[in-house]
Structure 1
Amino acid sequence: MSDDSPPTGARQGFTEPWRERLPLPAPEAMDAAQCAAAQALIDGPRKGVYGPFLPLLRSPKLLERVAAVGEYLRFDSVLDVRIRELVTCAAARHVTNQFEWLMHAPLALKAGVAPATIEALRVGARPTGLPAEEEAALDFSFELLRNHGVSQPAYEAALQQFGEQGVVELSTLLGYFVMVSWLMNVAHTPAQASAQGEPLQAFPL
């Protein structure tokens, strides 16, 4: 393993010897469509090319469409930012994705999620003592992630807290972050070098 490889805790879906499978292509290797897709990310609210967009550069039209969905869900959803970040952490924990966890756990804390809640998620425990809206969001998320469906009580609790549009966006938010996390798990996309906080327990593949 080379000296510049990420530490084990920051690797994603690690094998030995570890290597990033789909890193950022060299600028001279990118075609016009890839360059345009990368520039759109740099010019948009993300301000850079990182995370799932590194492997997605291999399919620039898909990147553009995925980026548009993610941009809405992250920055324009009717869900409060605290709920968005909490649910994103739940999705990252479910699929053990280091990049999304280490990016969004600090954002969840900044948005007002309790540190004890984030730590419980990190170690795979059920957070307790939650505000009603966080309880509804996590109950809904856990059921959908684990059972691939949602019971009537969990649905009604989420509907009461977030309304029909919120339930639709909550479901789609979970699906979006599971999707991009799966892609990064396959690509072995590491957490950002500047990431702070405790990583998730990695899994060998």
Structure 2
Amino acid sequence: MRINYAPSTPPTTNPDGTPLPEAEQKATAEVYERVAARRKPRPLIPLDLALLHSPPIANGYNALLGAIRTQAVMPQDVLELSVCRVAILNGAVYEWNAHAPLALKAGVTAAQLQEVKSLPISTFTPEGKIINNVEKPVGSSLTDFQWDVVIFTDAMTKNIKVDDAIFAAIKSRFSEREVVELTVCIGAYNMVSRFLVTLDVGENNDKSMKDPVNIESELKK
């Protein structure tokens, strides 16, 4: 990583060796406990150890992403599909390699995930209208609603301004709560991908994104 990782256990001193105030030590330890609880049974991951340089930020991140992952009513296959597309659009190898297996476990097929990986990045007019990827390709393995989610993800990520037609497709398929959850998920994982790539968390920037078929084979072992 481009900076050092934070300690894997709650620090009791500042980087210069001076002791942390007792209240800050207690607050920091509580953040570590909350982050560790969300990761169980796994240990803290490199992303956690990057964020824990700032315990308040790590705490807020943990709460938001934990809510998206465990409290959203939007089906996980939809959310993971959007996260994987964000990873492709932003070149976030760490994010793709972490979430592609989750997408497969949630029910996205390897063929569908491969299409998410290989589909050209959508382009848009200044007004937000899509230029390419106007229609789902003939023979696409993606369902119609998956296609709409991918294009919505492209619009939010690459253009920010989402055309009314693209938004209408999402609004017609999901409840207002689900629309909010999907929109927050895409926005949140754009933040995550930018953090991961900028700091090269996990030293993944020069690595390849795993092939969905190979990931599927690993999951079956």
For normalisation by structure 2, the TM-score amounts to: 0.71
Which of 186, 191, 200 aligns to 2:198? It is 186
Q: Structure 1 residue 57 and structure 2 residue 60: aligned?
A: no
Which moves more between the two structures, 46-55 or 153-162?
A: 46-55
The answer as to whether partners of 2:111 and 2:141 remain within 8 angstroms in 1 is no
1:133 shift after superposition: 2.1
Which of 178, 187, 193 aligns to 1:166? It is 178
1:51 shift after superposition: 4.1
Q: Which structure would you say has the larger RCO, counting Cα contacts within 8 Å and 6 or more residues apart?
A: 1
* Structure 2: distance between partners of 1:89 and 1:177: 9
Matches within 5 A, 1:134-149: 134-149=146-161
| Cα distance change on mapping 1:153 and 1:81 into 2, 3 Å | same
| DSSP 3-state at the match of 2:175 | helix
Deviations 1:124-164 (A, max 9, x none): 54783422221221121111111112111111110111121
The answer as to whether partners of 1:51 and 1:189 remain within 8 angstroms in 2 is yes
Q: Structure 1 residue 71 and structure 2 residue 66: aligned?
A: yes
1:20 shift after superposition: 4.7
Counterpart in the other structure of 1:23? 5
Counterpart in the other structure of 2:30? 36
| Cα distance change on mapping 1:172 and 1:183 into 2, 3 Å | same
State percent identity of aligned pairs: 24
Q: Which amino acid aligns with 1:136?
A: D
The answer as to whether partners of 1:52 and 1:181 remain within 8 angstroms in 2 is no
1:46 shift after superposition: 5.2
- Of the two, which has the highest radius of gyration? 2
| Aligned pairs, number | 178
1:70 shift after superposition: 0.4
1:34 shift after superposition: 3.5
Which of 106, 114, 118 aligns to 1:123? It is 118
1:169 shift after superposition: 1.3
Question: Structure 2 regions of 5+ residues with no counterpart?
Answer: 14-24, 122-136, 212-221
| DSSP 3-state at the match of 1:78 | coil
| Cα distance change on mapping 1:73 and 1:147 into 2, 3 Å | same
* Structure 2: distance between partners of 1:24 and 1:58: 5
* Structure 2: distance between partners of 1:22 and 1:122: 31
Moved over 4 A (4+): 28-31
Which moves more between the two structures, 60-69 or 126-135?
A: 126-135
| Cα distance change on mapping 1:92 and 1:22 into 2, 3 Å | farther
Q: CA RMSD in A?
A: 2.5
* Structure 1: distance between partners of 2:190 and 2:59: 18
* Structure 1: distance between partners of 2:160 and 2:40: 30
* Structure 1: distance between partners of 2:184 and 2:10: 36
Counterpart in the other structure of 1:104? 99
* Structure 2: distance between partners of 1:182 and 1:163: 29
* Structure 2: distance between partners of 1:51 and 1:109: 23
Deviations 1:26-70 (A, max 9, x none): 647555244332221112355432243221111101111111110
The answer as to whether partners of 1:23 and 1:54 remain within 8 angstroms in 2 is yes
| Cα distance change on mapping 1:26 and 1:106 into 2, 3 Å | closer
The answer as to whether partners of 1:98 and 1:191 remain within 8 angstroms in 2 is no
For normalisation by structure 1, the TM-score amounts to: 0.76
